[in-house]
């Protein structure tokens, strides 16, 4: 398995891979050791070689990875993110080790990524065995980029019920919660516009925003300029334990995801699953995998991207009707537990790997 970020830690826990290859956009470290021999196992030498002779570095990397795969007798490689997958694909293909690439969002949509990796992605689409994606939108998008549809498996991300307990939003105060990076695709500015619209009808409502990012300072200034300091609370980055506690206090979870100007988009929004799985209704947008995890009018409310007025009206419905929030929250929990748990997701990934192995025998 190729490791890329802590977001994938659950895969390590559930799938228990034989080896984890990580570090760098061309992953090269396993069990604390480099796959390179001396002197390229020395970081400074490796970095100098990569920058001075990138073509030869890539060739040397592929040969080193091929030897590593053969030496350790890998049956299948699961790689997170298309960018990483495109870098390990040539070696896997050369030695006949099936490669499964898991796309997550930015790696499938961001214009600069698609331009930079255009040739590599086309080669990977031919060479890799399977592609895991998190939404029907992403299925269609990868096909438009050239990925064979028969190689694509849709597996939405999962809710880890171990860390989030059921709450009753009907008994909670008029608190709305957002959790996520303050980035363009999360549109925290539009979320505040929507909340400000809701405040006109529910002046005692409170919006809690957890997270940081490049838009944080701008959002902080926006809140002050609009005179919302008493109604919007910025908590910055918080641990998963604090996030869980805040979900328990919420009347509804709110998130205005949209396609960013650079093309970036969501895969499956994890925090939306965590909120729904905890019994909290969701107010969000018809964006990417969100419309596959939130049932509009049943487990929450959805609006079109950019429509802050409709989103604000949807907030009002739940803020003014705690009984409705409780009903939708219970429906959300039942839906998430039935369809979107980590156990189910990991079982589907494991089944995908086993099916690849069987066909490769």
For 87-120, the pLDDT digits (tens) are 999 999 999 999 999 999 999 999 999 999 999 9
For the stretch 6-49, pLDDT in tens is 567 788 888 999 999 998 889 999 988 999 988 888 888 888 98
| 3-state DSSP assignment of residue 135 | coil
Q: Which candidate, 323, 321, 356, places its Cα nearest to that of 128?
A: 356
pLDDT at 272 > cutoff 50:
yes
The pLDDT of residue 3 is 37
Q: Residue 290: left if φ>0, alpha if ψ -120 to 50, beta else—which one?
A: alpha
- The Cα–Cα gap between 260 and 62 comes to 34
CA atoms within a 13 Å half-sphere pointing along the CA-CB vector of 15? 28
The pLDDT of residue 2 is 47
The pair phi, psi for residue 14, each rounded to 5°, is -85, -40
Q: Do domains 6-158+342-360 and 169-339 have the same CATH topology?
A: yes
Domain locations along the chain: 6-158+342-360, 169-339
Write down the CATH superfamily of domain 169-339: Glycogen Phosphorylase B; (3.40.50.2000)
- The Cα–Cα gap between 34 and 43 comes to 10
The pair phi, psi for residue 24, each rounded to 5°, is 90, 160
Query: Do the beta carbons of residue 165 and residue 341 sit within 8 Å?
Result: no
For the stretch 130-173, pLDDT in tens is 999 999 999 999 999 999 999 999 999 888 888 888 999 999 99
Please tell us whether the domain made up of 6-158+342-360 is placed in CATH 3.40.640.10: no
């Amino acid at each position: 398995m190729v490791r890329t970020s802590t977001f994938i830690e659950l895969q390590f826990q559930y799938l228990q891979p034989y080896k984890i290859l990580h570090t760098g956009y061309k992953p090269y470290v396993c069990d604390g050791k480099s796959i390179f021999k001396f002197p390229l196992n020395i970081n400074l030498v490796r970095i100098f070689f990569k920058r001075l002779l990138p073509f030869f570095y890539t060739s040397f990397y592929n040969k080193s990875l091929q030897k590593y795969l053969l030496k350790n007798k890998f049956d299948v490689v699961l790689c997170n993110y298309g960018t990483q997958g495109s870098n390990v694909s040539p070696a896997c293909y050369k030695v006949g080790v099936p490669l499964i690439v898991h796309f997550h969002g930015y790696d499938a949509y961001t214009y600069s990524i698609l331009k930079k990796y255009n040739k590599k992605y086309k080669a990977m689409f031919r060479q890799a065995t399977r592609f895991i994606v998190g939404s029907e939108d992403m299925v269609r998008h990868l096909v438009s980029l050239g990925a064979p549809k028969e190689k694509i498996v849709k597996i939405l991300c999962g809710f880890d019920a171990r860390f989030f307990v059921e709450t009753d939003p009907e008994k909670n105060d008029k608190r709305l919660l957002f959790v996520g990076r303050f980035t363009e695709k999360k549109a925290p500015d539009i979320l505040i516009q929507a909340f400000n619209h809701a405040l006109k009808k529910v002046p005692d409502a409170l919006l809690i925003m957890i997270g940081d990012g490049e838009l944080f300072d701008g959002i902080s200034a926006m809140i002050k300029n609009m005179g919302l300091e008493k109604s919007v609370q910025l908590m910055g980055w918080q641990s998963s334990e604090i996030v869980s506690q805040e979900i328990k206090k919420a009347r509804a979870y709110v998130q205005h995801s949209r396609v960013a100007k650079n093309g970036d988009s969501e895969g499956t929004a994890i925090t939306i699953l965590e909120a729904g799985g905890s019994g909290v209704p969701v107010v969000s947008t018809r964006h990417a995998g969100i419309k596959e995890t939130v049932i509009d009018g049943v487990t929450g409310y959805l609006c079109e991207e950019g429509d802050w007025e409709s989103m604000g009206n949807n907030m009002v419905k739940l803020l003014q009707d705690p009984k409705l929030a409780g009903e939708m929250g219970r429906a959300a929990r039942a839906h998430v537990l039935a369809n979107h748990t980590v156990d189910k997701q990991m079982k589907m990934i494991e089944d995908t790997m086993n099916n690849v192995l069987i066909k490769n025998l």
